[in-house]
Amino acid sequence: MALMEVRDLVKEFDGQTVLSNIHLDLHDGDVRVLMGASGSGKSTLLRCLNRLVEPTSGSILFRGKEVLGPSVDVRELRKQIGFVFQQFALYSHLNVLENVTLGLRKLHGMTPAEAKEKALLELSNFDMTMHQQKYPSQLSGGQKQRVAIARALAMDPAVLVLDEPTSALDPVMSRDVADLINRLHEDGITMICVTHDLHLARNIADKVMFLDQGVIRADDRIEVLSQHSDPQIQAFFQKEQV
């Protein structure tokens, strides 16, 4: 059974169609990359997956169960789908350790001691143990993103969703976070990642979905996409050579 199956997903904002008939299958261990110009609907699609955005119509199955029904436990769903955003979205009034323990206590119901143990384990995986008492304002962008990824993974989600995780970083930090995402890929973490980084996409993606104004233009292996006849997709790959 697929982990997630998206069928005929449509999203309209104020009568304007932002996503048209999106289909997406994701299996355990898959890594799917989403690409497309700014405004093509990538973030909206990701946000529909855990109902940060309510789709207009269509179906999303998570392990065979519809997640768009009124009686669905959205908190439970969000435990299963970890999110990492471009702008880190750390709580500025909480230190690193507290940022990671919060969800473990509130959503997983861990005691403070259990949450701390789990958080420290996750932070050590990302070389952030020595920064545990720092506040987000005292961290570099790359360090903030490490904490955001550690926080998401501490929840043991079934799938990690990353929305342009390297876009807000300078080239060096961007490479560092991309290497880290590559490591997650080697560890077999199931991921959906929006990125403009073709190098990262080549390393991690089983398949790349290409969105254009809310429509899937292509959904295939990157070797196939790089030979694609669609001029828009070609342009995307030509940019890489510059």
**What are the residues binding Mg ion (CB under 5 A)?**
42-43
Q: How far apart are CA 169 and CA 176, in angstroms?
A: 10
Query: What does the per-residue mask of binding to ligand ADP show for 24-43, with x meaning CB under 6 A?
Result: ------------x-xxxxxx
Instruction: Name which of 136 and 214 has its Cβ closer to ligand ADP.
Output: 214
Instruction: Name which of 34 and 154 has its Cβ closer to Mg ion.
Output: 34
Q: How far apart are CA 215 and CA 205, in angstroms?
A: 20
For residue 42, the minimal CB distance to Mg ion (Å) is: 5
Q: How far apart are CA 103 and CA 99, in angstroms?
A: 8
Q: Which of 3, 18, 33, 216 binds ligand ADP (CB under 6 A)?
A: 18
* Look-up of token digits 């969703």: 161
Q: How far apart are CA 185 and CA 29, in angstroms?
A: 8
What residues does 13 pair with on adjacent strands? Answer: 16
Query: What does the per-residue mask of binding to ligand ADP show for 36-75, with x meaning CB under 6 A?
Result: x-xxxxxxx-------------------------------
For residue 207, the minimal CB distance to ligand ADP (Å) is: 18
Residue type at 210? F
Q: What does the block give as tokens for 167?
A: 């876009």
Q: Which residues bind ligand ADP (CB under 6 A)?
A: 13, 18, 36, 38-44
